[in-house]
Amino acid sequence: MLHCATFGAGCFWSVEALFAGQQGVVSTSVGYMGGHTDSVNYEQICTDTTGHAEVVDLKFDDHVISYQDLLQLFWANHDPTTPNRQGSDRGSQYRSVIFYHTEVQRHQALGIRQQLDRSRVYSAPIVTIIEAARGYHKAEQYHQKYLQKLKMSCL
């Protein structure tokens, strides 16, 4: 059965590439979620005034990869302890965020965040926001599969 998952962990290009390469992930798209405006584009996002995060929205087959597995990838591949920042990218659009689509997803995300905080895997507290998915805006076409396009153009 296909399910949706939405994650923000910095620049959406690398987050999309991470998840798109996983067996069981059927499709990915990059976009914006979590803001307070009805429509948004990349230029607006860059002003850090819309409240949106850069996210990857994906469809996955839970017979091949579980939501738990996707959460493990999410936590292991970015720094969830830096508010509004990933590497040199700064601003609320780069925040660490999980947008859940079901109560089961919310419960699983909260559970893993608590486990990681208790185990002190990270040197600082986790600041990842966990909130209901709402208002996804697909990013401009040139952002979709950007790193894949870049790699192909370098061959």
Active site residue ranges = 11
At 40, give phi and psi (nearest 5°): -155, 155
CB 65 within 8 A of CB 39: no
Query: Within a 10 A sphere around the Cβ of 125, how many other Cβ atoms?
Result: 11
Residue given tokens 């990857």 in the structure block: 56
CA-CA distance, 153 to 37, in Å (whole number)?
35
User: Closest by alpha carbon to 7, among 74, 69, 64?
Assistant: 74
